Structure 1
Amino acid sequence: MIEFRKLEGFIMALAAVIIWSGNIIVAKQLAPDISPFSLSLLRWSSACFFLAPFGLKPLLKDWKIIRQHLGFHLTVSFFGISLSNALIYYAAHDTSGVNMVIIASTAPMMTMILGCMFLKETLNFGKVIGALLAFSGIIAIASRGDLDVLIGMRFSWGDGLALIASFLFAVYSILLRFIPKGVSQLGFLSAIFFMGALWLIPMTAVELYLGGTIYIRNWQSIAGIAYAGAGSSVACFFLWNEAIKKIGPFKVSMIYYSLPVFGCLWAILFLGERLMFMDFVGGALVLVGVLTATIASRR
């Protein structure tokens, strides 16, 4: 029963990462027409719409407990929902795809460190080696094995924003272990999605006042927003949160390393990009790294 619970957790985390990786395509499609905070507000408003039929009743049922821990939920929604995602969208305007992939892949390492600091999780040699192998795989995929790509990397304020976003996502993953008892998964998600959307309203208003744009070009734009809301938000956060409950933040965060691998597959299917030899090498390194860290965490 315990082993099945762990397997279920790994499958949920992997499913979340696969769906999240598709968000790369959506971001490329929508970023030129919709400003970052505006895009975030549309995403989380869409998420609230899709979650409402399933989440409204649990939210009302759990509201008394949520209200007693209102500060916790407001904090989680601000950093894990509103700010981290908006920073990623802002970073995309000022940094390269290579930088974004590499910086985003620091989130599992940050989660590992925070887990050791606040959850008293043990850090052993196998975990470190696994994390380094997986990170090496990310670099291989992002650089396509070209050392000149890494040497030629230039860091900007967008990279700083991406790094902060990765840290906030790691913090979010750790905070999930402190969800108040008695609050259901759907009730929790409904609360932080709604609060996250509320946080974004004044930010979006300021952004639009300063010249931001919201341009819905065609039905594909609407489909992209719906995917971001229903898939990358509702489905992914539900799966991710459940996975953390079942196998813990460290093991789940290691699955996150596979994001660029699936991102490449999405790009091949929908953007017409070619599969290269280094994609196989990088994917193999990520797989070996995740397996190494997972086995080490069982000891």
Structure 2
Amino acid sequence: MSEPSPASTGAFSALMSRPYILLILCNLFWGGNVVAGKAAVGNIDPYALMVLRWAGAALLVLPFAIEPVRRDWPTIRAKWWLYLFYGAVGYATFNALCYVAAYYTSGFNIGLDQVTINIFVMLLSFILFRTRVRPLQLVGVAITIVGVALTASHGDLSRILALDINFGDLLVLIASLAYAVYSITLRWRPQTDWRSFLLATFIGAALASLVFAATAGGGLAYVASTVPSITPLGWIIAAYTMVLPSIISQMFYVRGVELIGANRASLFINLIPLFGAAGSVLILGERLETFHFIAAALVMSGIVLAEWSARRA
């Protein structure tokens, strides 16, 4: 393989110094992952998809990470548990819950529910680090919560009072909490090469995926038996998830958090519903209900208000 040209290296360095572009692209690919997770139903077992995704991502990164890992090995060996945590919680747990949720709720809902990641990040930042939140930000968050609640209850808020929330939406909310924890803990990310970080965390995610498959997935033998029945579309979905939402998005998100912090970077996650909804309608042919439009308007209004308040600060 030829060495990258100085121009390409310079372009990559320039891209990695622009947090807004990185975070928009990152969430575009994650929005595609929402569509891929929903399209996977009937084409590939969710636990098989998860194992293939993270094991495949680790293998793809490996050739580029060998030298960085050698340099960073003392740090990786000392902080192995932290890399395992990142992979297990931020990658495997989040995606396991979202892929299973696709069997119970729509792709639009899965995308919209993920705006709660930012809410959880703000809450955890305040609890753990006393990060200041302005009153208008809280109002914006409250409006966003109403929008998400409208989605999770499928347009009937009284179902929440009766604790009758769609199971798929509940899984996505739990997944969002897991990813918020991952985002917060990135402030303790060991200072290693990004390729070393990706490989170590992908290995952690692959190991955690095997645990999920062995327990919740019906056993490793059962999950392995579903591989021959994966459709061509299922393999395409697996390939997509290995590259764009895994390698590229995770690299861009980690860099974005480094540049502007978890609180601000997590706001961009609110783009997932837009990209996910567009893909769900255009690719999956999902039908939007009236409550979807109302919920989306509430969520976006809350986001704009919270961001406007944060910028004033």
- 2:227 corresponds to 1:221: no
Deviation for aligned residue 1:273: 4.9
CA shift in 2, pair 1:133/1:122, >3 Å: same
Deviation for aligned residue 1:149: 5.1
Q: CA–CA distance in 1 between the matches of 2:154 and 2:230?
A: 39
Contact 1:81 1:196 in 2 (8 A): yes
- 2:24 corresponds to 1:14: yes
Q: Which residue of 2 aligns with 1:163?
A: 173
Q: Which residue of 2 aligns with 1:24?
A: 34
- 2:197 corresponds to 1:188: yes
Q: Which residue of 2 aligns with 1:197?
A: 206
CA shift in 2, pair 1:96/1:261, >3 Å: closer
Q: Which residue of 1 aligns with 2:256?
A: 243
Structure 2 unpaired stretches of 5+: 1-13
Q: Which residue of 1 aligns with 2:3?
A: none
Equivalent residues in 2 for 1:111-122, closer than 5 Å: 111-122=121-132
Q: Identity rate of aligned residues, in percent?
A: 29
- 2:84 corresponds to 1:70: no
Deviation for aligned residue 1:20: 0.6
Deviation for aligned residue 1:109: 0.8
Q: CA–CA distance in 1 between the matches of 2:83 and 2:207?
A: 13
CA shift in 2, pair 1:133/1:56, >3 Å: farther
Deviations 1:163-221 (A, max 9, x none): 321111000000111112x3122211111001211232243245354744333211x32
CA shift in 2, pair 1:148/1:222, >3 Å: closer
Contact 1:79 1:172 in 2 (8 A): yes
Contact 1:84 1:168 in 2 (8 A): yes
Number of matched pairs: 291
Q: CA–CA distance in 2 between the matches of 1:228 and 1:297?
A: 33
Equivalent residues in 2 for 1:168-183, closer than 5 Å: 168-180=178-190, 182-183=191-192
The one of 267, 271, 290 equivalent to 2:284 is 271
CA shift in 2, pair 1:171/1:148, >3 Å: closer
Letter in 2 for 1:246: L
CA shift in 2, pair 1:211/1:149, >3 Å: farther
Contact 1:258 1:283 in 2 (8 A): no
- Tell me the C-alpha RMSD between the 2 structures: 3.2
The one of 225, 240, 255 equivalent to 2:268 is 255
Q: CA–CA distance in 1 between the matches of 2:286 and 2:166?
A: 26
- 2:138 corresponds to 1:125: no
Letter in 2 for 1:114: L
The one of 211, 232, 235 equivalent to 2:245 is 232
CA shift in 2, pair 1:156/1:266, >3 Å: closer
Structure 1 unpaired stretches of 5+: none
Contact 1:108 1:256 in 2 (8 A): yes
